[in-house]
Amino acid sequence: MPKKAPAPRLRTIPESEMNAQQLALLADIQKTRGKGPLGGPFGVLLHAPAYGDLAQKLGAHCRYKTALPARLSEFTILAIARFWRSQYEWWVHSPIAEKAGVKAETIKALRGGRLPKSLPKDERAIFDFIAELHRSKRVSDKTYRRIHALFGDAGTIEFVGIVGYYTTIAMTLNVFHVPLPDGQPLPFTEPS
């Protein structure tokens, strides 16, 4: 049974209290991600709007404009969310990943901290790359070649960018205790 999530470390800034830079950032975020409640990392980024502007622009590119197919991009995001035990990142991206073609049994296994035996070769190459990079802070030539064979030069750079961006987002969400919407169960058990 998941423990209760810790209390957020930053307050939500009401739109009526935002300065011009924060309002401009909010408008840019809403252009790519839609209007509605501003959850996840975006509420945090509004506290540092100059940084937030750069981060959300990189995020929009990583999410919507890379050469990676949506299935592989979303699988990458889920792998990062699992490595970092990022509750919000997982909560947002697991349904998106399934819609993009990541198998439900793969999502369930990843959430449980394991990989299914029938993982497609491309998803396995991605997982192995991310695991090796997190473990050793580098990747071997063999691991690199597997990813490069999938994505080529520019795509490999974009893939590493996705890994880096969503690692930054996972850290942001974890450090600032960004909560899930009320009533949503935590995907992972919180550490003691």
Domain of residue 104, CATH code: 1.20.1290.10
Q: Supply the pTM of this predicted model.
A: 0.93
- Report the pLDDT averaged over residues 65-76: 97
User: Does 47 share its domain with 86?
Assistant: no
Question: For residue 115, is it within any domain?
Answer: yes
Question: For residue 46, is it within any domain?
Answer: yes
User: Does 78 share its domain with 148?
Assistant: yes
Cα–Cα distances (Å) from 47 to 12, 40, 131, 175, in that order, read 9, 13, 32, 14
Number of domains in the chain: 2
User: Does 28 share its domain with 90?
Assistant: no
Question: For residue 74, is it within any domain?
Answer: yes
Listed residues 49, 64, 79: the one ending a domain = 64
Question: For residue 82, is it within any domain?
Answer: yes
Question: For residue 3, is it within any domain?
Answer: no
Torsion-angle region of residue 85: left (phi > 0), alpha (psi -120 to 50) or beta?
Answer: left
Predicted local confidence at residue 116, as pLDDT: 81
User: Does 74 share its domain with 161?
Assistant: yes
Q: What is the mean pLDDT of the chain?
A: 93
User: Does 120 share its domain with 152?
Assistant: yes
- Token pair in block for residue 78: 């889920």
Question: For residue 191, is it within any domain?
Answer: no
Question: For residue 95, is it within any domain?
Answer: yes
Question: For residue 189, is it within any domain?
Answer: no
pLDDT of 63 strictly over 80:
yes
Predicted local confidence at residue 1, as pLDDT: 41
pLDDT of 100 strictly over 90:
yes
User: Does 81 share its domain with 168?
Assistant: yes
Instruction: Identify the domain containing residue 50 by its residue range.
Output: 15-64
- Report the pLDDT averaged over residues 28-48: 86
User: Does 146 share its domain with 81?
Assistant: yes
Query: What sign results for the dihedral spanned by CA atoms 64, 68, 70, 75?
Result: negative
SS3 13: coil
